[in-house]
Structure 1
């Protein structure tokens, strides 16, 4: 039994029969090798599925965190905008204004002037367009406005139009008909927007609080809106 061998025959139509003698030890090793190979393949498939599933969960968590970060950024910018607007008022006057009207009216009254805070503090930012370096300059009877417009999603071009609205001290707005060639855009990264316009009839410069910049897409979707007090942007 110690000399037992297995004969393996290879037969070919156009050749002689070839015989190989194999020890049972080699057959056992071949069996265990195939079994080990199968176990390794199964372990690899299980590990691959586990890592793929973990990667999918991490991507989902990343998207959720990114959304929360964008929401927090929007809220922060809104609070900063409210802070800028409140800083532009005299503190003593603001306290008297806030104390003079019931909250449900959403208006602040002072010596004959009503400020509609719902319009004055309106802010919107979908994180698709960014506005920076807003500057305003008086030139004779007209105003020269300039600002940097940035495409925050550089994976695709951004097309649309910038619009201007003058905000009075009462919180009401007056839309400006600016030059479409100055305000329309198609950008991959950024554009410096410059335009000049005159005050509409019946609008007194001394009664203006600030300027609202609005960025809309070609589909007329409002993706950005913010009010800039004149005290902060006037050169």
Structure 2
């Protein structure tokens, strides 16, 4: 029994039969090698799936962090806008005015409060991205430019960009800019440039900011944000 051997035969049609004699030890070694290879393959597959899952979770966390950072940036800018509006009111002058007006007339002649929610209204459906907004004086007019990106590149985005000027008292004046400048049909992005005049009867000092609105060809508002003029015209 100690000299037991296994005969392995290899037969071909065009060659003689070849025989190999193997001891049980080498057969067991070969079996263990196959088992180890199977274990290694299984461990490699498990490790690959685990690392892939962790990588997907990390990517998702990164997207959430970027979104939270973007939202925080927007909220910070809105708070800065609110602070600038509040700073534009002189508390001493307001107090003097209230003291000079009789009690009976204060309710009638009081200045309406500015609705900050309406003034600083912000909307972003994440379908259109607006970047690199620039505004400058150009020959007695205002020149506006910005990058318009299609955030859903699976389909083209068509529509119209609109402009409105926001006065210090909270009123909005829509600007009729050149339609060819403001209309778009994009798969990826477009640089929008246009020029417009300040409405008659208004001065730059009377204006707080410019509202930029993006609408689809169906008239749906998908983006709206107010940019203070002090951000561009100093």
What TM-score do the two structures reach when normalised by structure 1? 0.71
1:9-61 deviations in whole A, cap 9, x for unaligned? 23345544322111222212111111111111121122122212222222222
1:165 is aligned to 164
1:130 is aligned to 131
2:181 is aligned to 182
Distance 1:163 1:67, change over 3 A: same
Unpaired runs of 5+ residues, structure 2, are 100-106
1:106 is aligned to none
Distance 1:48 1:121, change over 3 A: closer
2:72 is aligned to 72
For residue 119 of structure 1, give the secondary structure of its aligned residue in structure 2: helix
Task: Give the stretch that moved more between structures: 23-32 or 125-134.
Answer: 125-134
1:193 is aligned to 193
User: Is residue 149 from structure 1 mapped to residue 150 from structure 2 by the alignment?
Assistant: no
CA RMSD of aligned residues (A): 3.7
CA distance in 2 between partners of 1:2 and 1:79 (Å): 90
Unpaired runs of 5+ residues, structure 1, are 101-108
1:62 is aligned to 62
Tell me the number of residue pairs that the alignment of Structure 1 and Structure 2 aligns: 217
CA distance in 1 between partners of 2:157 and 2:108 (Å): 43
Task: Give the stretch that moved more between structures: 153-162 or 189-198.
Answer: 153-162
For residue 197 of structure 2, give the secondary structure of its aligned residue in structure 1: strand
For residue 194 of structure 1, give the secondary structure of its aligned residue in structure 2: strand
User: Is residue 209 from structure 1 mapped to residue 174 from structure 2 by the alignment?
Assistant: no
What TM-score do the two structures reach when normalised by structure 2? 0.72
Deviation at 1:91, TM superposition (A): 3.8
1:121 is aligned to 120
For residue 38 of structure 2, give the secondary structure of its aligned residue in structure 1: helix
2:86 is aligned to 86
Task: Give the stretch that moved more between structures: 178-187 or 34-43.
Answer: 178-187
1:214-235 deviations in whole A, cap 9, x for unaligned? 2314343241320535x66557
Task: Give the stretch that moved more between structures: 65-74 or 162-171.
Answer: 162-171
Maintained 8 Å contact 1:160/1:215: no
For residue 11 of structure 1, give the secondary structure of its aligned residue in structure 2: strand
Maintained 8 Å contact 2:120/2:225: no
Distance 1:124 1:9, change over 3 A: closer
Maintained 8 Å contact 1:124/1:226: no
Maintained 8 Å contact 1:216/1:222: yes
1:21 is aligned to 21
